[in-house]
Structure 1
Amino acid sequence: MEFYKNLKFKDEVPKYIQVANFIKNLIDKRKIKEGDKLPTIRSLSKELGVNNVTIVSAYNKLKSEGYAYQKVGSGTYAKIKDVSSSFRKEYSRALKKISTKDLTEVVDFTGETTGEVLFPIDDLKYIINEVLERDGANALLSENRNGYTNLINTINKVFWNSKLNEEDIIIVSGAQQGIDIASKGILNINDNIIVEKPTYVGALSVFKWRKVNLFEVPIEEDGINLDKFEKILQKNKIRCFYTMSYFQNPTGISYSLEKKKRILQLAQIYDFYIIEDDYLSELIYEQSLDYIPFKWLDTNNRVIYIKSFSKIFLPGIRLGYLVAPTLFREVLQNSKHNTDITTSSLMQRALELYIASGRWKENIKYLNDEYIERYTYMKFILDEEFKDIITYIDPKGGLNFYLTLKDNMIDTKELFIELIKRDVYITPGAMFFTSQMYGQDSFRISFYQTDKYKIEKGMKILKEVLLDLTEKNNKK
């Protein structure tokens, strides 16, 4: 009851509305948690010095707005309002507005814009011209529905030492399409799947569209919590596990070798498959991380491997590939063909030449040099200026930091809204959970579209807004 002693009534607003708003604020800040029983009508009316009707009206308002529910004969209980749909729309609208602004003035910590392209455009022009001169009109034709044959051969040779069966490789239009194809190919309505908690919002959208049952397992510094993972496996028939093995989005964590091996063992024991989304493993900044994806360790054909080239080729050119377990080869090929028939032949040929000629290695080195500098600078600012405000797990690579507020007085959706007013954009943690009752105290910042100048500018504004919101909320 000590919370309610801080409520000071104002004359101009009806008391029942003030009581309801006060309780809503406590629920939003998680001082009152999901399922907590609210005080009885009689005890709260006595505590606040109001009549019973005021409390009844306040509780009815909370119930009508989704902040409370009633158990007959037991009382009224707090409910975390799930605002996922409305907020996702608000977030999407905000990002669309970025494109209408002068991007030189915007600090995009979401990484969603493409105002900066770190790719040698002259190389792209040269590669495309060379493809057109070499192949002529054939450059625009597709002779293999699974992808350009030479590209498939080059991927196998350069990245897999020719260890894959090339019939299992399918060229896709980026990782998002790969997830969609895998989902359509192996998941049916009401299948059970496990995802990391939190996880990539694009994958959540795909799985929800397939109407599957989602089980979330908390993620730790080296991968998911295996005890909780296996308990779910013991109680439920799981069809697949979706994972990002390197620089997981949003947390930035990478899986330890031990956890990869154990998860593969569990896949065989409990008969489920692994969708491995490998989208940033080229961007490893510290030698303590070794590149060993699940697929390299997959001796039982349990892994559907998805690789995107968007970050190392061109963001606007969606290209990647999927490696199908032989059992699912045909169904995943059909899923791809039903999705878009074929992927741009010209871009596939350009990508094949880019990889085969070795130019990709030069650009990867350039990207690593550039992003290491940004990563180091952002990490320095976090450690020096934000150490009393936030905590984070050092990703040691990738393009993001996932930050958690030490004081959870602030809802990061509110932080997002306030930062927009100053042309700084972040991604609130609630975007990465199946229910937005989670992630209120966390957010992701990316250095993908921010140079050192913008990092310094954006982090300064971020700290100012965080401190302002903390001060305001402490006064409430």
Structure 2
Amino acid sequence: MSMLGKRVTERITPSAITEMMILVKEHNAISLTAGEPSSDVYPVEMVRESAKKALADPDLLGYYPLSTGIVELREWIAEWMKKDGLLPKGFSGKNVILTNGSQDGLNLVSEAFVEPGDVVLVENPTYPEALLAFGKEGAKFVSVPVDKDGPIIEEMEKVLAKDKVKLFYTVVNFQNPSGCVTTDERKEQILELAERYSFLIIEDDPYRYLRYEGKHEGSYINLAEDEDAVLYLGSFSKIIAPGIRCGFMVIPSKITSHMSELALATKLSLSAFLQRTVYELLCSLDMETHLSNLKSTYMMRRNALDASLGENATPYGMTYDLPQGGFFIWARVPWMKDCYDFAKFAVLEEKVGVVPGAAFYPDALSADNSTLRLSFAKTPPEVAEEAGRRLGRALAKYKNLS
């Protein structure tokens, strides 16, 4: 008899993204699968120098007494967010908890707020690893469709009229996978709904600083009049490097002690040495220049994939809205009936990997099996061009089989 609990046996499902990444590697295919930064833009030398500075204090290699993370970095984050207009003046480093990447933040939120049977409202489509985090705690999901400006208010009101929602999870900038950006107008309307229906907004914002065109929108946490209405998740994974595993949460003052105790119970202590390395890096980095270089690199890759898809894939029915930032093109091929089957076919037949779009929906009934997520972050322009050609050939072959 298995001794495993329901978290493992019933609530955790395999990751389609991971499965596709493994398949791509096995077949030495061009990958449009990974939603992660490219290693050629990591500030490697600066990380090395920052690590040397951090090692000047050998105590950082021991247990750090605060489960919330080193004070200097938490204060830096609060000031950075305030300068960018993301955080109200009343917040400080005391409201910041450092995490092992934003997924750790999602897990802390799930463990702190979700009881079995609680209803979590998510965007449709949404980030599947968030579904895993909430789902393992026994959450039930309801969803709201999005357009280019974020969640559709009328559809959200329909859901809220029927279900008692505890949390609303949203990726606000260049949403994974759709690329949509929630406008401030929509945020104001959703904050009104949060007040009326008493639910907490979980604002996940890993892609904000990867905007290639247009102007930034604000944040829920800054627009909210009630500081208890929003919990913000951020990360350095997309703008420095994911391997440093440094994310953060900004939380209401009322729950800082509870979240600190939860962090202690779940991980005892994060790596103060890595946190200090990040802090030293941020203090010496010209952030504006660094972000400008990132944006230039990723925009060229996006544009190269866009041009190649236009030439090679759109003739076979592929459509998409070009995102103004982030890592993803969210594509649709109306005649495609099974995106999982096509994704495997594309790897085996043409050695190009994409992620089936149906993996990003909270339930099979609402899933759109004609969708694909294409990540351009790790593909230099010449590779992106070849990826588009291979994808076009795969679509042509697959359509003939249909």
- With normalisation by structure 2, the TM-score equals 0.89
Residues 179-209 of structure 1 show CA distances to partners (whole Å, capped at 9, x for unaligned) of: 1101111111111110000100100111211
**Residue pair 2:115, 2:139 contacting (<8 A) in 1 also:** yes
Residue 466 of structure 1: aligned partner: 395
- Aligned mates of 1:87, 1:182 — CA distance in 2: 20
Q: CA deviation at 1:155?
A: 1.0
Q: CA deviation at 1:331?
A: 2.7
Alignment of 1:422-441 (within 5 A): 422-437=350-365, 438-441=367-370
Matched, 1:407 2:335: yes
Residue 59 of structure 1: aligned partner: none
Distance 1:440 1:106, change over 3 A: same
**Residue pair 1:312, 1:360 contacting (<8 A) in 2 also:** no
Distance 1:115 1:268, change over 3 A: closer
Matched, 1:349 2:276: yes
* One-letter amino acid of the counterpart of residue 345, structure 1: A
SS in 1 for 2:372: strand
Higher Cα radius of gyration: 1
Residues 23-65 of structure 1 show CA distances to partners (whole Å, capped at 9, x for unaligned) of: xxxxxxxxxxxxxxxxxxxxxxxxxxxxxxxxxxxxxxxxxxx
* One-letter amino acid of the counterpart of residue 446, structure 1: S
- Aligned mates of 1:209, 1:236 — CA distance in 2: 20
Extract unaligned runs of 5+ from structure 2.
1-9
SS in 2 for 1:444: strand
Residues 356-383 of structure 1 show CA distances to partners (whole Å, capped at 9, x for unaligned) of: 2234433222111100111122222233
Specify which of 22, 31, 42 is matched with residue 108 of structure 1: 31
Q: CA deviation at 1:115?
A: 7.2
- Aligned mates of 1:341, 1:299 — CA distance in 2: 34
Q: CA deviation at 1:406?
A: 3.0
Q: CA deviation at 1:459?
A: 1.0
**Residue pair 2:37, 2:238 contacting (<8 A) in 1 also:** no
Residues 310-353 of structure 1 show CA distances to partners (whole Å, capped at 9, x for unaligned) of: 11111212111101122332332222222212221111001111
Q: CA RMSD in A?
A: 2.3
Residue 447 of structure 1: aligned partner: 376
Specify which of 180, 183, 187 is matched with residue 107 of structure 2: 180
**Residue pair 1:139, 1:349 contacting (<8 A) in 2 also:** no
Specify which of 271, 292, 295 is matched with residue 368 of structure 1: 295
**Residue pair 1:95, 1:112 contacting (<8 A) in 2 also:** no
Residue 95 of structure 1: aligned partner: 21
Matched, 1:142 2:64: yes
Matched, 1:300 2:226: yes
Specify which of 290, 298, 323 is matched with residue 216 of structure 2: 290
* One-letter amino acid of the counterpart of residue 144, structure 1: L
**Residue pair 2:36, 2:377 contacting (<8 A) in 1 also:** no
Extract unaligned runs of 5+ from structure 1.
1-83
- Aligned mates of 1:87, 1:457 — CA distance in 2: 33
* One-letter amino acid of the counterpart of residue 69, structure 2: G
Distance 1:296 1:114, change over 3 A: closer
* One-letter amino acid of the counterpart of residue 303, structure 1: V
Distance 1:237 1:94, change over 3 A: closer
Residue 42 of structure 1: aligned partner: none
**Residue pair 1:188, 1:212 contacting (<8 A) in 2 also:** yes
SS in 1 for 2:362: coil
Alignment of 1:382-401 (within 5 A): 382-388=309-315, 389-401=317-329
- Aligned mates of 2:108, 2:299 — CA distance in 1: 33
Alignment of 1:24-43 (within 5 A): none
Matched, 1:327 2:250: no
* One-letter amino acid of the counterpart of residue 55, structure 2: L
Residue 197 of structure 1: aligned partner: 124
**Residue pair 2:175, 2:181 contacting (<8 A) in 1 also:** yes
Specify which of 114, 138, 156 is matched with residue 229 of structure 1: 156
**Residue pair 2:95, 2:250 contacting (<8 A) in 1 also:** yes
Q: CA deviation at 1:419?
A: 1.5
SS in 2 for 1:316: helix
SS in 2 for 1:265: helix
Distance 1:90 1:110, change over 3 A: closer
* One-letter amino acid of the counterpart of residue 121, structure 2: I
Matched, 1:154 2:76: yes
**Which protein, 1 or 2, shows the higher relative CO under an 8 Å CA cutoff with sep ≥ 6?**
2
- Aligned mates of 1:202, 1:451 — CA distance in 2: 26
**Residue pair 1:277, 1:306 contacting (<8 A) in 2 also:** yes
- With normalisation by structure 1, the TM-score equals 0.76
**Residue pair 1:117, 1:314 contacting (<8 A) in 2 also:** no
SS in 1 for 2:232: strand
